[in-house]
Amino acid sequence: MPENDKQSLSMVTCTAPVNIAVIKYWGKRDEDLILPINSSLSVTLHQDQLKTTTTVACSRNFQQDRIWLNGKEEDISNPRLQSCLQEIRRFSRKRRNTGDSTSDVSGVSHKVHICSVNNFPTAAGLASSASGYACLVYTLSQLFGVESEQLSAVARQGSGSACRSLYGGFVQWKLGEQLDGKDSLAEQVESESYWPELRVLTLVVSAEQKSVGSTSGMHASVETSQLLKYRADVVVPSRMEEMIRVIRERDFPAFGELTMKDSNQFHAICLDTYPPIFYLNNTSHRIISLVHRYNQYYGETRVAYTFDAGPNAVIYTLQDHLSEFVQVVRHFFPPEVSGEEFVKGLPVCSADLSEELKRDINMEPTPKGIRYIISTKAGPGPCVVKDPNHHLLGADGLPKKTV
């Protein structure tokens, strides 16, 4: 544990990624332990574009556990936060009791100060709970010297999808069988370098209203949707196997088709929920049409969409088709802002569109339907930030003024 003697303050800073599921998690069999009713699989996005950074400090001088999220102090008594803190402290004590003298775990009885920020706006509508809880759990584990294959089970108790953000590349969350959830863990399928041509675009849609949160949405689906039971029992087990196979074969058309079908089934379950839940808006529906018309023009699946609990589209494609597809989006969703402001993140070359392609797609443009695009790719799991200048907490254990 890195100790600053003068202040008796120990501090660690880490970063963690966002992940986007291609086989969706939707529904819990145990709401306290956050155990899912089906396995799921996601791609971890690169942290150069999307990440959470968290600093955790512990000191014998701290009076209570405290947390600041994106510059604002939040209530530490949140039960999911408490589960993660308790679990990590339990692991750390267990390690001490088993007599591992190499780890200095004295800090485990001290209170912690946690400060966390995202490098993407909350308005981007990307689930920040996955990167947020993964980062919290990973940073706590580094501070308290906890090394465990069970770390994803701790992050899972913060937010289900967070367990998948503990690994880079392609990650599956196996639903597990045990009642205590010890085997409901995330596992890397392939690393981030396995499929280097794969690209990811987040199309941030102009949303009018706030959608139903995933926690309450999936609760309602479990209570009322019969389709959800069929999905969990019959559809997902075979889709998981197929998805792993097509990723290993780097078979984009099969990967894309399965990704779109799974997103559509998740939204079908939302409609099958009573009362129904609508996450997609008109722009989302137009993006779906655009992708299918584009693929139809070429007679193969070159681009795939997936949508989570909101109207933003995440697009998977290959490097070769990226610039043309972005130009297609720009043409059919003329932006309010200029070039660079519209496409953020990894650079995208400009491309010319043939008149034939535009004519065949045959859609009315929707001006300003998409606010901006974040261009990224698959990336690594959580990292420790070595440079102490990047700590979000100062030597007094409080957020630095710049946070």
Residue closer to ligand DP6 (CB basis): 272 or 324: 272
Residues 250 and 229: their CA atoms lie apart, in Å, by 30
Q: How far is CA 186 from CA 84, 113, 161, 262, 397, in A?
A: 16, 27, 9, 19, 32
Q: 175 CB contacts (<8 Å, ≥6 apart)? A: 35, 36, 37, 38, 39, 184
CB atoms under 10 Å from CB of 32, counted, come to: 11
Residue closer to ligand DP6 (CB basis): 185 or 348: 185
Residue 126 sits in the site that holds ligand DP6 (CB under 6 A): no
End-to-end alpha carbon distance in the chain: 24
Residue closer to ligand DP6 (CB basis): 164 or 330: 164
Residue closer to ligand DP6 (CB basis): 309 or 322: 309
Q: How far is the CB of 64 from ligand DP6 (least distance, A)?
A: 25
CB atoms under 10 Å from CB of 5, counted, come to: 6
Q: How far is the CB of 253 from ligand DP6 (least distance, A)?
A: 23
The number of residues that bind ligand DP6 (CB under 6 A) is 15
Taking CB under 6 A as the binding criterion, the range among 17-25, 82-90, 312-320, 339-347 that sits at the site for ligand DP6 is 17-25
User: Which of 168, 272, 183 minimizes the C-alpha distance to 220?
Assistant: 272
Residue closer to ligand DP6 (CB basis): 25 or 68: 25
> Using an 8 Å Cβ cutoff, are 200 and 377 in contact?
yes
Among 308, 321, 369, 393, binds ligand DP6 (CB under 6 A): 308
> Using an 8 Å Cβ cutoff, are 200 and 314 in contact?
yes
Q: How far is the CB of 59 from ligand DP6 (least distance, A)?
A: 30
What SS3 state is found at 372?
strand
Helix then strand then coil, in percent of the chain rounded to 5, is 40, 25, 40
Residues 346 and 376: their CA atoms lie apart, in Å, by 6
Residue closer to ligand DP6 (CB basis): 192 or 308: 308
Residues 361 and 309: their CA atoms lie apart, in Å, by 27
Residue closer to ligand DP6 (CB basis): 133 or 144: 133
Residue with tokens 């137009």, as numbered in its chain: 286
Q: Residue 98 corresponds to which tokens in the numbers above?
A: 């088993």
For 165-185, b where at least 16 C-beta lie within 10 A, e where not — what string? bbbbbbbbbbbbeeeebeebb
Q: How far is the CB of 357 from ligand DP6 (least distance, A)?
A: 32
Q: What angle do CA 96, 102, 105 make, to 5 degrees?
A: 45
Taking CB under 6 A as the binding criterion, the range among 10-18, 159-167, 321-329, 355-363 that sits at the site for ligand DP6 is 159-167
Q: For 82-123, give the DSSP string.
A: HHHHHHHHHHHHHHHHTT-TTS--GGGGSEEEEEEEESS-GG
Taking CB under 6 A as the binding criterion, the range among 23-31, 140-148, 337-345, 358-366 that sits at the site for ligand DP6 is 23-31
Q: How far is the CB of 291 from ligand DP6 (least distance, A)?
A: 19
Q: How far is the CB of 159 from ligand DP6 (least distance, A)?
A: 3
Residue 40 sits in the site that holds ligand DP6 (CB under 6 A): yes
Residue 160 sits in the site that holds ligand DP6 (CB under 6 A): yes
Q: How far is the CB of 158 from ligand DP6 (least distance, A)?
A: 7
Among 13, 54, 92, 129, binds ligand DP6 (CB under 6 A): 129
Residue closer to ligand DP6 (CB basis): 305 or 332: 305
Q: How far is the CB of 34 from ligand DP6 (least distance, A)?
A: 5
Among 14, 24, 328, 332, binds ligand DP6 (CB under 6 A): 24
Q: Tell me the CB-side half-sphere exposure of residue 379, using CA atoms within 13 A.
A: 23
Among 37, 124, 127, 240, binds ligand DP6 (CB under 6 A): 127
Residue closer to ligand DP6 (CB basis): 183 or 197: 183
Write the binding mask 201 to 220 for ligand DP6: x where contact by CB under 6 A, - elsewhere.
-------------xx-----
Which residue ranges make up the site for ligand DP6 (CB under 6 A)?
Answer: 21, 24-26, 34, 40, 127, 129, 159-161, 214-215, 308-309
